[in-house]
Structures are given as C-alpha cells and as structure tokens.
Amino acid sequence: MNLIIFGGFLGSGKTSLILSLSHFLLENKSSDSSNVVIIENEVGKIGVDDKILRYDGLSVRELFSGCICCQLSSDLVITLDDIHEKMNPKWVIIETTGLAYPGKILSTLNEYGRNIDRIKIITVVDGERFKELIAVTPVLIKNQIADGDMVFINKTDLVMKEELKQVEDHVRKFNPKASLHMLSANTKVDDAIWKEVIGNYE
C-alpha cells in the first residue's frame, strides 16, 4: 500500500484536495474504487467530511474521538492492517484532524506499520488565514509545514499578492526542502501536481 497523509489546520481545504486526488487516481489508473481507501480522522464523534467523500463513491474509514498522532495511533495501525487484509488497496489517503502533527504519524507508521510501500506527507496551508493561525498556534502550524514532503498553499485567490509572498517566505523558511505549490478553489489542480504526488508508483 502507498500512503498519502494530508495534514493542515481545520478549514484549510484538505477534503476538497483529497477528492481531487482520488478522482485523478481513479480516472487515470483504474475505474475500480477499491484501489483507493480514505481514512478520515475527526476529533469529535460525528464526521462531516466523510459524507462528502462517500457521496463520490469512495471507501472511507473513520477514526473518531481523538487524534491519530497521539491518542489513536494504535487504532490507525490496526485500521491499516485491516484494510490491507480485507481490501489490499494500492492507495490509502489519510486526512488528519487539523490538530495533528503529521511527523508523529509518520514515526508511528515507520515503527509499527506493515505492508506499507511508501509514505508521503502533504501539508495544506490556509493562505487566507495564515497570518492569524501562525499568531495563535505557531508551534502547530510550523511543525505541520516542516513535516511536509510537499506543501500546498491553498486559497491563493483570497489573498493579496504581497501577503501571499509573505506566506510563501514563511513556508520556505519552515521547510526549505519541500516541494511548494500554490492552489486556488477557482482553478482545477494541475494533473502535473498529482503526478508528482504519486511519483513512480503509478
């Protein structure tokens, strides 16, 4: 299984991007939706985003009442083992809660995960609210960005050019090694970006 972990604060646009990636995988690689499974992590007991994902015919597993980078780390490992045994999909996309540290999830999976071919972390940055979020939760935002193999600055259509440049400068400072992309809800994600995400595991 190939794991793609989406991190980023609540409301950054992770679900929409996961839908876009899922459609890309299904349309370009296989019409069989069993090849793509999504794990949805919610802190509360009622999921909203999973209903959107299921509406598009995607397989969704839910992990509630905690964060998979801490309280539910063992649940995540057990869930992945179960998914492999019952479905053995090529792609597992994990949408973390907005409070998660993707790097902690990666550490857990590197130590305890099985049947995993590779893991890639994508951090989604809320361009519109970045200034506010970095002021209120600096440690969380900085670490989410630093953990990413790729960083998507989202909602660029809602940010003035000068402010967007400041967001980009912060992101590059926190994670100079990550591949950085600017995204907008007004524009379809370029297939080249998703091809970079999946790499040579087509």
Our measurement of the distance from residue 42's CA atom to the centroid of its chain's CA atoms, rounded to an integer in Å, reads: 13
Structure-token match 């524009």, residue found: 187
87-119 pLDDT tens trace = 899 999 999 988 899 999 999 999 999 999 999
pLDDT of residue 184: 94
pLDDT tens digits, 7-25: 999 899 998 999 899 889 8
Beta bridge partners of 153: 125, 182
According to DSSP, the β-strands at 91-95 and 2-7 are: parallel
Q: What is the pLDDT of residue 5?
A: 96
Q: Could you tell me how many residues make up the chain?
A: 202
Burial bucket for residue 7 (CB in 10 Å: 0-12, 13-18, 19+):
buried
Q: Assess whether pLDDT exceeds 60 at residue 144.
A: yes
Q: What DSSP state is assigned to residue 178?
A: S
| pLDDT tens readout for residues 116-128 | 999 999 999 999 9
Listed residue (49, 60, 57, 41) closest to 16, CA to CA = 49
Residues 197/171, Cβ–Cβ less than 8 Å: no
Report the C-alpha gap between 125 and 129 in whole angstroms. Answer: 9
Q: Are the C-beta atoms of 154 and 124 separated by less than 8 Å?
A: yes
Domain 2-192, CATH class in plain words: alpha beta
DSSP state of 63: E
Q: What is the pLDDT of residues 52-83, one digit of tens each?
A: 555 555 677 766 555 555 544 678 888 899 99
Q: What's the CA gap between 10 and 194, in Å, rounded?
A: 22
- Could you read off the pLDDT of 146-157 as tens digits, one per residue? 999 999 999 999
